[in-house]
Amino acid sequence: MKEKRFLPDGWAVYVGLALLLLLGIGAFVFRQDFSFWEKRYLAEPPKNYSPVEWTLNDDLETYLSDQLPFRRVFVALDAQAQALTGRAVQLGAWPTGDAIVEKPVETDADTLLRRVAALRGFAGDTPCRFLTPPTAGMLKMGEMTAARRAVYELEAETYDAVVRQEGFIPLREAFESSAEPVYYRTDHHWNFEGAYLAYRAYCEAAGLEPLEKDDFEITDCGAFLGTTYTRSGLPFAKADTLICAEPKTPVTARFDGEAYDHLIFPEEAETYDGYAVYLKGNHGLLTVENPAGERGTLFLCKDSYANSLIPFLSAHYRRIVAVDARYYNGTFADALAEAGDAEEILFLYSMDSLANDTAVTRKLRAR
Amino acid sequence: MIFSSFTFLLLFMPVVLLGYRLLPEKAKRPFLLLSSLVFYGWGSPGWLLLLLYIMGLDYAGGLLIARFGKRKKAILAALLVMNLLPLVYFKYAVFLRDTLDAVTGWRIRMDSPLLPAGISFFTFQGISYLIDVYRGDAREQKNFVRFGVYLSLFPQLVAGPIVRYTDLEAQLNRPPQTDIASARLGMRRFAVGLGKKVLLADAMGRFWKLMSADLPAAGALGAWLGLIAFSFQIFFDFSGYSDMALGLGKALGFTFPENFDRPYRALSLTEFWRRWHMSLTTWFREYVYIPLGGNRRGEARRNVNLMIVWALTGLWHGAGWNFILWGVYFGVLLILEKKYVLGRPGFERTPGWLRQAGTYLMVLIGWGFFAGKWAVFPAMAGMYGLTSPRAALNCLSYLPILLLCAGISFLPKLSLPGRRFAAPILMALCLAALAAQGYEPFVYFQF
């Protein structure tokens, strides 16, 4: 008896080819300008080519790759296949327990110590402190296989060698002993709890009396899927919640030529970069003023980790001048001159920024 | 254009295969020639001139050889030189310059030309046509479109298999055939080839890249597994491409010669080379080894002939001393194997798995020369220690896929259930991998 089939074999081939062609045509028909989940602009259709300077092949390939219909589904399928075959290492961020954790920072203690020495040299006689959080991976070593743990142990050794230097504010123990998660599940930044613990550790080092959480205005800004989720490409992750704090006393934030009477921007939670609820994201130079602060001016050299910490610190300083080397056109010296009478300096960099952010060393060298 | 690109998979392939199917018979061959020229010119339109030069030269050359029978030897010699000149210039000029500079101390000023894709393949195909016509093994092709299709047929244009004219002569001279059963088999084979390339070869390539980037950190474990991964990369990359070429050829109604026959299951090096890149081995045997006298003039002359063929085989793969060394390495081993190993009672009594392992080991060392990463040898010997934690993690991460490659390469072929669904699943996974990782050029394009 003849076998019944949904489609005769041969014709299925041509149906398959037609589907492939539809995907190709779909890339032009359903073109999108921006990929929300990748947080980037997508390629535009290729145009204007001469046979001499021929890049149409590469440009069309990039375009089709960017605009492939159902691309998110395809990327997720690949990410899941990689994770299932043990190659999560490919994803740049690994599922660990209920979180997606970044790969270890590739650096060594000597490199980091050289960078720290350069920063210390910049500070000169002004009292300075360093705050570098342990990575989420270091805190989740207990949930890893032995082979993965070995790599994070190396990262932890490097981290410990650096943060035991004078001026570093210890954080690892406080983070490890926290009953609450201190990092987002889907993002590389510390969460509300982590930022608050860092704030308390800073206060202890700086001789300040830390406030309780209830002393701040707390806002629930909604759900959030962050960078490690995006980087991994994995389809499923439990979203985080953006909990934000700011002082109850009036504050003014100035950046990009504008002044604001608040530090939290809940509307940003709806955008592609939810973390921008804190201070509307990263800015080259940012000033936060709080006339009720007990201390004078803090000069803060920072990366994005500081964005959720600044609202806590602003409760204590009349003025915080924060410079982010990646977005600031001048040198650190220019920024310091702008700060005027800075009495304290805080260098707040993640281990990754400390190791790999060349903008920091460039801005220092230009002094 | 490369097969593992969206441009090919989503636009070129469906348009060409559907168009070829739907067009009237008379239009099929011109359409195929035009498609092949678009395929080749897509990467760099300027290179089309080179392909058209070889096409025109060899088309006219075949007619000339057939017409002027008495002077055909001189005509063939001139045509061979004119065929080989672009190959020598584009592929070997820089190598010759550097070698001359090193030997003489000169400083020859010459720009490095970009290597046109597939030049070694279509040059050798053109030469095979001329020699076949010269020998009387094939009739000259008077129809330019048919000849053009032979030389530029896109499935095998840039990475083989090297199709000799005699293999395709009858297929070119009959009406085009596009039956559904062939299309089905062809596309199934294409999907398998694409899977080999995108899902296996590229993964192995990434692992080898990780290991070879820092061999002291990789240590003995990383170096061994890395080189094994490289051996899988080069096999799945090239045999995957051959599968895609054969599959597309089949879908277009052509049957090309097989290029691989599970080479890592070979029980001797002689057998390995009967299973690996068979179209190249056949080409060298037919057009170099046998004309040199083959094994008809005694053992000493045979050995010289073998060494010439293997040095040329090495040189064909790339313009570098490591490739020549790789070729000579196999030449020497094959001579020794023929003299001291094959047919000996001790060898015949050795278990098959041990012979297979020994053969693979010799081939693996050869891949070390081929890769030109000399530090891999001291690393494999343990001179940098066992491994480092980061390299160990990478080894562990790639172990499942490495074992899968090993299983496919070394074990007998399995007949799995649900093969009907293999092609669409493989295509979906390949599209997913390409969407996530971008696309990677085929390793064999540089040859």
Give the model's pLDDT for residue A201.
Answer: 96
B444 vs A106: which has the higher pLDDT: A106
B202-223, pLDDT tens digit by residue? 999 999 999 999 999 999 999 9
Q: Does A87 touch chain B (CB under 8 A)?
A: yes
B263 inside domain: yes
In chain A, DSSP finds a helix count (H) and a strand count (E) of 13, 13
DSSP letters for B302-359: HHHHHHHHHHHHHHHH-SSHHHHHHHHHHHHHHHHIIIIITT-HHHHHS-HHHHHHHH
User: B158, B178, B198 — which closes off a domain?
Assistant: B178
A177 vs A232: which has the higher pLDDT: A177
Evaluated on CA atoms B137, B143, B147, B149, the torsion sign reads: negative
Q: Is the pLDDT assigned to residue B387 strictly greater than 60?
A: yes
B255-291, pLDDT tens digit by residue? 999 999 999 999 999 999 999 999 999 989 988 999 9
Burial of B305 (0-12, 13-18, 19+ CB in 10 A): buried
Q: Are residues B146 and B252 in the same domain?
A: no
Q: Does A24 touch chain B (CB under 8 A)?
A: yes
pLDDT classification of A366: cutoffs 50, 70, 90: low
**DSSP alpha helix (H) spans, chain A:** 9-29, 56-67, 71-84, 109-123, 136-139, 146-163, 172-176, 192-206, 227-232, 310-313, 332-339, 351-356, 358-365
Q: Please report, for chain A, the start and end positions of each structural domain, with discontinuous segments joined by +.
A: 99-365
Long-range CB contacts (< 8 A, 24+ apart) of B101-109?
none
B361's tokens: 């080991």
B362 inside domain: yes
Q: Are residues B165 and B188 in the same domain?
A: no
pLDDT classification of A5: cutoffs 50, 70, 90: low
Cα gap A77→A147, rounded to integer Å: 25
Q: Are residues B117 and B170 in the same domain?
A: yes
Distance, in angstroms, between A248 CA and closest chain B CA? 46
Peptide bond into B113 cis (omega under 30): no
pLDDT classification of A19: cutoffs 50, 70, 90: very high
B94-150, pLDDT tens digit by residue? 888 888 888 888 887 777 778 888 898 899 999 999 999 999 999 999 999 999 999
Measured between beta carbons, the chain A residues lying within 8 angstroms of B389 are 147, 150-151, 153-154
Q: Are residues B214 and B350 in the same domain?
A: yes
Q: Residue holding tokens 């830390």?
A: A210
Q: Does B248 touch chain A (CB under 8 A)?
A: no
Measured between beta carbons, the chain B residues lying within 8 angstroms of A24 are 6, 10-11, 14
Work out the widest C-alpha separation in chain B, in whole angstroms. Answer: 71
B432:A151 CB<8 A: no
Percent of chain B with pLDDT over 90: 66
Is B277 marked active-site?
no
Give the model's pLDDT for residue A365.
Answer: 67
Q: Are residues B151 and B231 in the same domain?
A: no
Percent of chain B with pLDDT over 70: 97
Question: Domain span at residue B160?
Answer: 6-178
The chain-wide mean pLDDT, for chain B, equals: 90
Of A23, A86, A153, the CB nearest to B400: A86
B105 vs B164: which has the higher pLDDT: B164
B320-342, pLDDT tens digit by residue? 888 999 999 999 999 999 989 88
Q: Are residues B123 and B23 in the same domain?
A: yes
Burial of B289 (0-12, 13-18, 19+ CB in 10 A): buried
Mean pLDDT of B63-76: 91
Q: Are residues B162 and B263 in the same domain?
A: no
Q: Are residues B120 and B229 in the same domain?
A: no
For the ranges A22-31, A326-335, B186-195, B330-339, the lowest mean pLDDT is seen at A326-335
Q: Residue holding tokens 């041509």?
A: A14
Please give the ipTM for the structure prediction: 0.86
B58's tokens: 């060899």
Of B5, B15, B203, the CB nearest to A61: B5
Q: Are residues B101 and B200 in the same domain?
A: no
For residue A344, give the 3-state DSSP assignment.
strand
Give the model's pLDDT for residue A103.
Answer: 86
A262 vs A236: which has the higher pLDDT: A262
B392:A20 CB<8 A: no
B180-191, pLDDT tens digit by residue? 888 888 999 999
Q: Are residues B41 and B142 in the same domain?
A: yes
A64:B6 CB<8 A: yes
B91 inside domain: yes
Angle between helix B165-173 and helix B144-152 axes, rounded to 10 deg: 130
User: B153, B178, B203 — which closes off a domain?
Assistant: B178
For the ranges A84-88, A125-129, B218-222, B357-361, the lowest mean pLDDT is seen at A84-88
B322 inside domain: no
Q: In what order do the strands lie in the sheet with A317-323?
A: A128-131, A344-348, A295-302, A317-323, A285-289, A252-255, A258-260
pLDDT classification of B441: cutoffs 50, 70, 90: very low
Q: Are residues B155 and B196 in the same domain?
A: no
Percent of chain A with pLDDT over 70: 93
B187:A23 CB<8 A: no
> Domain count of chain B?
2
Measured between beta carbons, the chain B residues lying within 8 angstroms of A233 are 436
Give the model's pLDDT for residue B443.
Answer: 45
User: B161, B178, B195 — which closes off a domain?
Assistant: B178
Q: Are residues B170 and B189 in the same domain?
A: no
Mean pLDDT of A188-215: 95
pLDDT classification of A41: cutoffs 50, 70, 90: confident
Work out the widest C-alpha separation in chain A, in whole angstroms. Answer: 93
Cα gap B13→B99, rounded to integer Å: 42
